[in-house]
Amino acid sequence: MNTLDDKTIVRDYFNATGFERWQRIYGDGEVNKVQLDIRNGHQQTVDTVISWLKEDDNLTGLSICDAGCGVGSLSIPLAEAGANIFATDISEKMVEEATERAKNIQNKTANVNFSVQDLEKLSGSYHTVICLDVLIHYPQDKAAQMISHLASLAESRLILSFAPKTLCLTLLKKIGELFPGPSKTTRAYQHREADIITILADNGFSVERNAMTSTRFYYSRLLEAIRK
């Protein structure tokens, strides 16, 4: 499978069954146990990013690009906290849902802009670029290209999360405990943390803060990298 196929598959998935599945997981309605576990895990990742950004005490007016924003789980609270958010996603359905969810936040949507775009086609310059739980959909070589492109858009900081490739998780994945469910039709790629750090370093970034979220079915390594 080549990388163009990966991207087409991912976009089609998140415009169809993937949209149905993930907008439920990233919502507050009733879901099954596995989906609830993933919802809680993902929320921890989002909360960690928000707490890092709030700690710095400069969120008001800060320009942030949320690449692969999904339904706006991170973009909307960051906009509410006063940041200027440019949020994009390759899936039209996810962007429609994000726009709808942002409308429900009364009087606080002026500083968030959603649009449909492949993250590799993004241009411009942002203080902080964030890309959460997107690299899992791409193999190593494609992920490296994506990180390099995102790095070129980030003036100061790049925040990424990915499913870490560890022996334990590889075994779990092999026996099918991870990423379960009939509608999980995209491939899930894990990445070695050391490889991601090398790619970041090659693009002039070094890791300042890191975190790991592990629940039963959700594993995500989070890195904050700063331009050296």
Would you give the DSSP letter of residue 170? H
Using the rule CB under 6 A, which residue among 23, 38, 85, 89 binds ligand SAM? 89
DSSP string, 12-60: HHHTTHHHHHHHHHTSSS---HHHHHHHHHHHHHHHHHHHHHHHTT--T
73 or 203, CB closer to ligand SAM? 73
- Binding residue for ligand SAM, selected from 47, 118, 193, 195, defined by CB under 6 A: 118
> What are the structure tokens assigned to 202, written together?
């090659």
Is-contact 223 164, C-beta < 8 A? no
Site size toward ligand SAM, by CB under 6 A: 21
For ligand SAM, the closer of residues 91 and 203 by Cβ is 91
Closest to 110 measured CA to CA, from 76, 64, 74, 153: 76
> Closest separation between CB of residue 66 and ligand SAM, Å?
7
The crossing angle, in degrees rounded to 10, of helices 17-25 and 33-55 is 60
Contact code string over 22-41 relative to ligand SAM, x by CB under 6 A: x---x---------------
| Footprint on this chain of ligand SAM (rule: CB under 6 A) | 7, 10, 14, 22, 26, 67-70, 73-74, 89-91, 94, 118-119, 132-134, 137
